[in-house]
Amino acid sequence: MITNLVGNRIREIRARRKITQQQLADSANIPRATLATIEKDESNPSLAAVYKIAVALNCTIDDLLEKEHDRVEVIRYTNMGRVESGDGHYRATTVSPLGNPAYSQQTFSLDADATYLGKPHPPGSEEYLYILEGAVTLEVAGEQISLEKGDSAHFRGNINHSYHNPGNTTARGMVTIIESPDLTDH
């Protein structure tokens, strides 16, 4: 059994979609009286019943447990993490939530004719590079790939890599790093 946190959300979603209790109960293959009891918060519904309702509403159980305002996390510019290379030619702003050990997304700028040496990430990591402005030469394990505005590249993040801006204006891009969980802990 799960505690009933879903009654109001089910009723809210059902009303927004203009579905009657009977229509939803039929679609979920549960008695209408059961649905009515769940919506009134007069029961402690089973996970199976909540799952059937979620499927019938074409949503997830999480959708039935979360309020709309809980689904969006806003990160204000003043709270975003920032890093800069020692020489100041590479500047990055973390636009993803800080502290997520498995995922990081940054926008970056790289000055003209400057190089940034990327730091290898743990084994199993992936890095995605997308160029927003200018051009960047990506070097991965000795292989050089020229990327221009609109181009993207994906590579294993645990190998040596660098970004070089061959142009005479600042290049801008986005980097997404996905780190695999450490499988040695299991």
Name the more confident of 78 and 26. 26
Residue 186 is predicted with a pLDDT of 37
* pLDDT above 70 (res 1): no
Q: 23 pLDDT band (50/70/90 cuts)? A: very high
* pLDDT above 60 (res 92): yes
The stretch 42-56 carries a mean pLDDT of 86
* pLDDT above 60 (res 109): yes
Q: 85 pLDDT band (50/70/90 cuts)? A: very high
Residue 118 backbone dihedrals phi, psi, to 5 degrees: -70, 150
CA atoms lying within 13 Å on the CB side of residue 124: 8
Q: 43 pLDDT band (50/70/90 cuts)? A: confident
Q: Average per-residue pLDDT in the chain? A: 87
Residue 140 is predicted with a pLDDT of 95
Predicted TM-score (pTM) of the model is 0.61
* pLDDT above 70 (res 184): no
**Domains annotated on the chain, with CATH:** 7-70 (1.10.260.40), 77-185 (2.60.120.10)
Residue 67 is predicted with a pLDDT of 60
* pLDDT above 50 (res 33): yes
* pLDDT above 50 (res 3): no
The stretch 30-44 carries a mean pLDDT of 86
Residue 66 is predicted with a pLDDT of 65
Contacts 24+ apart (CB under 8 A), 56-62: 56/24, 56/27, 56/28, 56/29, 57/10, 57/13, 57/14, 57/17, 57/24, 59/13
Residue 98 is predicted with a pLDDT of 78
Residue 5 is predicted with a pLDDT of 66
